[in-house]
Structure 1
Amino acid sequence: MLRLGQRHRLMIYSVTDFYEKIYMLTPVHIITSFSNCLDPVKIAADLIRCPSVTPEEGGAIDLLQSLLEPMEFICHRLHFEEYGTHKIENLYARKGNTAPHFCFAGHIDVVPVGDLSSWTVKPFDGIIAKDQLWGRGAADMKGAIGAFVAAVDRYLAYYGGKRGSISLLISGDEECQAINGTAKVINWMKNNGEIPDMCILGEPTNHTIMGDMIKIGRRGSFTGRLTLHGIQGHVAYPHLTSNPVHQLIRLFTPFINNNLDRGTVNFPPTTLSITTIDVGNVANNVIPAKAQATFNVRFNDSYSSESLNLMFRKFFDKQDMSYTLKTECSRESFLTEPGALSELISDSIFVITGRRPELSTTGGTSDASFIKRLCPVVEFGLVGQTMHKVDEHVSVADIYTLQDIYFTVLKCTLG
C-alpha cells in the first residue's frame, strides 16, 4: 500500500490488488459499462462545439456545470480580471467535504484555429470520423476533461462517493496570459480552505501512445524584452556611430551557442531562444538608433525568475552599452518528487495499458506550476501529436482508455 499527503497520511489501495480481486486483470481495456453513465467522447465533442478561444468561455463552463450539478457537485463560477488583461471565467466544483481530497484540473480555453481554409474539418464541429475525434481542443485538452468527468460519474455510480472528496479545477486562460485563471483560482481555494491532497492535471503528456509518459515537473518560462540604444549615422562612417544591431548579435551569441547549464537530476538544460528582433529601419544606408530583441528562457530548477533577472542585468551592466530591460515570468519551474502519487498513476496506467510510463519534465509550461503551491500534482492526459495543429484530433479509443485510468486512480485513492 502507498501513503501520500502532506496534511494527512492517506491510504491508497493497491492498484494491482484492486484489479486482481474485481476484474482478474482483464487484458488492456477494462471498461465498466453503465448504461446511465456519461460518455467521455460525447462530453469531449460537446466541449469542442463550445468555441472557447481564450478569453472566451464559449459555453464550455455552462456545459460542465450542467453535468456536475446532477452529481451533487457544488459549483463556483469564479471571474477574475486585472487592469490591462481579459476577464476570465473559471470553475471550481467539489463533491464531499472529507479527506482524502482528490482534484482533477484542466483548462477549457483553446488556441486560435489560424487559417480556417487549411482545415479539412470545421474546428468547432466536434465530429467523429476514422475512429478519431476532430476539432480544436480535442487533444489539448477537452478530451481529457471529458475523460475525467465521465470517470467521476462512473466512480460515483459504482461506489457512491462514500469516502473522501472529489473536486474539479477548470481554468479559462491557460493558453494565453495565465493571469486570471488557475493562478487566481488557487489563491481563492487557499483562502477558502479548499486544499486538495493530490491532483492530476489532464494535459496531453503522451508522446506517441497512451501510457508512454507522465509529467512530474516542468521548466519555467522567463521572457526578456531588451532595447539597446546606439548612435544613428551613415553606414559609410561607422566610426561615428554605435550600431545596436551588432551589439545584439554579440550579446546573444554565447547564449545561442551554448545552453545556460547542463541540466539537473530531473530536468533538461536551461535554454535561451531569441523570438524576435525589431529595428524598424527601412533605409539600407542608415545605422539605426536602437534595436529591440525579445528572448525566452525555459529554465530548470537551477534558476528562479528572480535569479535569472539578476543574472541578465548583471551581465548587461558589464557591457559597454546603454540598454533597458523589461522582464516577466509566466510560470516558475516545479517538480513533484517521484513517489506515491506518480507510482499510483504509473500503476494505474500499467493495469490498463500494460505500459510503464516515463517520468518526464520535458515540454512547455503548464498550470501545474500553480497547483504545486497547494498539493502534489502530476500531469497525465492524451497523446499530444496534434495539439495546436490544423486538424487537431485524438483517438476515440484513447479517450476511453484515459477514462479507465482515471477511474482506476479514483478507486484506488478513495476506495
Structure 2
Amino acid sequence: MTNDPAASAPTLAFDPTDPVALTQALVRRASVTPQEGGALALLDSVLAAEGYEVHRPVFSEPGTPDVENLYARIGSEAPVFVIAGHTDVVPVGDEAAWTRAPFGGTIEDGVLYGRGACDMKGGVAAMVAAAIRYRRANPDAPGSIAFLITGDEEGPAVNGTVKLLAWAHERGERFDHCILGEPTNPAAMSDMVKIGRRGSLTGKLTVQGTQGHVGYPHLADNPIRGMVRLLAALDATPLDTGTDHFDPSNLEVTTLDVGNAATNVIPAQAKAVFNIRFNDVWTPETLAAEIERRLREAAGNTVRYEVGFQPTNAVAFLTEPGPFVNMVADAVAAETGKRPALSTTGGTSDARFIKSYCPVVEYGVVGKTMHQIDECVAVADLVALERITHRLLGTYFAAQHGA
C-alpha cells in the first residue's frame, strides 16, 4: 500500500471528476512503456484522496523490464465492479513530425492531442472521473469499485495485468464484472462494444535446400520452391467459416526471407513467419496441430522443413451476451441515442487475462489515431465516456441489489 500518497502528492490543480482535465494531466506524464512516468503516481493521488485503498506493486521477470502497476479499491462488499486499463504508451516516433507536443495535452478545436490520448489515457481518465462522481453522490452505496491499471500493456505484457490479477487474487480479492476502457469505437461513440477477442498464434517456418550455382541446378535444391508449396497449402483452404460472434480465422505471412544477396546463387535456406488471428473454434494447441498437418501433407517426402510456434497467452474468448453485456450496451444507447454493435474484431487486449477472473467487456473512445503521429481524442468523446460509465455504475449497483 502506498505511504500516505495524499500527503506526499501536490494538491491537484483540477477537478478529478472532469475527464478532460484528468486526461490532459495523464497525457502530460511521459509514461512510455515500461516507464511509469508519473502517470500511476497521479492516479494514486487522485484515488487515495477519494478514499480508495491504493497499491502499486512492481513485478519482475528475467529478460523483461520491471513494471509498476496500480490496484485500487473502495468499498468492502460484493459485488466488485472492476475498471481496467493501462497508462503506458508507445514511443512517439519522429517527434519532429508531430504538429503539437506529444506530451503537451493541447486542446484545439475540441480535440485533445498527445500520445496516449485515445490509447488509452482518455479511457482511464473518463472512467476514473465517473467512478469518483458516482461515489461522491452515493457514499454509502453497497458494493465496491476497483481499478486494475497496468504499465505493461504496450510492452511484453508479462509484468502487467496477468500478474496484477494473480496478485490481487492471492490477497483474497474477488471480482464480479469488469469493463476495460480500450478505444473500441471505429468512428463514433455509439459504434461498438467488444465482447470478446480473437487469439494470436505466430509460427516460424524454415525450408532447407542445397546451395548451388544457378547454372547447375541439378547440383542444388532450391528451398524457395518448397516454401511456396508449403505456404500455398496453408492458404489453400480457409481455417474455418467463422462463428456466431467471430469472423473467420485468418493466416497472414508477415515475412519471407532467404538472405541471399547474390543473383547467381541458389540459396540454402528459406524462412517465413506467419501470424494467425483465430476465433473460438480453435485453441493454440489445436490450431498448431492443424498447421502441422497441412504442412506435413504438402511436404510429402520432397520438402525438408521445420516449423515452430512462439508461446502465446493470446487465446480467443467470448463474454456471452446476457444481462451484463446488455447493461453496457444500454448505457451507450442511452447516452448516444444508438445501440452499439457487439464485436470481437481487432487485435488482442488485456481482456484475455481478465476473462479468467470475471466476465469482461471493452468499451472506450474512438480509436482512429491510436499509435499514430498526432494521436488525439475528441473532448466530446471523453465527456460521453464519463457519462456512459457513470450511468453504467448506477445501473449496475442498483440491479445487483434489487433496487
* Deviation of the 1:137 alpha carbon: 0.8
Cα distance in structure 2, aligned partners of 1:165 and 1:275: 45
Structure 1 residue 402 and structure 2 residue 381: aligned?
A: no
Q: Which amino acid aligns with 1:303?
A: W
Cα distance in structure 2, aligned partners of 1:259 and 1:181: 35
* Deviation of the 1:310 alpha carbon: 2.0
Structure 1 residue ranges (4+ consecutive) displaced by more than 6 angstroms after TM superposition: none
* Deviation of the 1:365 alpha carbon: 0.9
Which residue of the other structure, out of 129, 145, 148, is the alignment partner of 1:150? 129
User: Where do residues 95-110 of structure 1 align in structure 2 (5 Å cutoff)?
Assistant: 95-110=74-89
Instruction: Label 1:275 to 1:77 Cα distance change in 2 as closer, same or farther (>3 A).
Output: same
User: Where do residues 76-95 of structure 1 align in structure 2 (5 Å cutoff)?
Assistant: 76-95=55-74
Contact 1:205 1:379 in 2 (8 A): yes
Runs of 5+ unmatched residues, structure 2: 1-13, 399-403
User: Where do residues 285-364 of structure 1 align in structure 2 (5 Å cutoff)?
Assistant: 285-318=264-297, 319=299, 320-364=303-347
Cα distance in structure 1, aligned partners of 2:216 and 2:26: 62
Q: Which amino acid aligns with 1:356?
A: R
User: Where do residues 52-67 of structure 1 align in structure 2 (5 Å cutoff)?
Assistant: 52-67=31-46
Q: Which amino acid aligns with 2:317?
A: F
Instruction: Label 1:182 to 1:36 Cα distance change in 2 as closer, same or farther (>3 A).
Output: closer
* Deviation of the 1:186 alpha carbon: 1.6
Contact 1:230 1:322 in 2 (8 A): no
Instruction: Label 1:328 to 1:243 Cα distance change in 2 as closer, same or farther (>3 A).
Output: farther
Name the residue aligned to 2:374: 391
Contact 2:233 2:294 in 1 (8 A): no
Instruction: Label 1:109 to 1:276 Cα distance change in 2 as closer, same or farther (>3 A).
Output: same
**Secondary structure of 2:69's match?**
strand
Contact 1:203 1:382 in 2 (8 A): yes
Structure 1 residue 48 and structure 2 residue 31: aligned?
A: no
Name the residue aligned to 2:5: none
User: Where do residues 171-250 of structure 1 align in structure 2 (5 Å cutoff)?
Assistant: 171-250=150-229
Among all aligned residue pairs of Structure 1 and Structure 2, give the percentage whose two residues are the same amino acid: 50
Instruction: Label 1:304 to 1:243 Cα distance change in 2 as closer, same or farther (>3 A).
Output: same
Contact 1:37 1:157 in 2 (8 A): no
Cα distance in structure 2, aligned partners of 1:357 and 1:322: 47
Equivalent residue pairs, number: 381
Cα distance in structure 2, aligned partners of 1:213 and 1:353: 12
* Deviation of the 1:341 alpha carbon: 1.0
Q: Which amino acid aligns with 1:385?
A: K
The superposition leaves residues 295-349 of structure 1 with CA deviations (integer Å, 9 ceiling, x where unpaired) of 1100000111111222223333442313242422241011000001111011111
The superposition leaves residues 5-27 of structure 1 with CA deviations (integer Å, 9 ceiling, x where unpaired) of xxxxxxxxxxxxxxxxxxxxxxx
Contact 1:344 1:409 in 2 (8 A): yes
The superposition leaves residues 365-408 of structure 1 with CA deviations (integer Å, 9 ceiling, x where unpaired) of 11111100000000000011111111111110110110000001
Cα distance in structure 1, aligned partners of 2:253 and 2:54: 43
Q: Which amino acid aligns with 1:395?
A: A
Name the residue aligned to 2:401: none
TM-score, normalised to structure 2, is 0.91
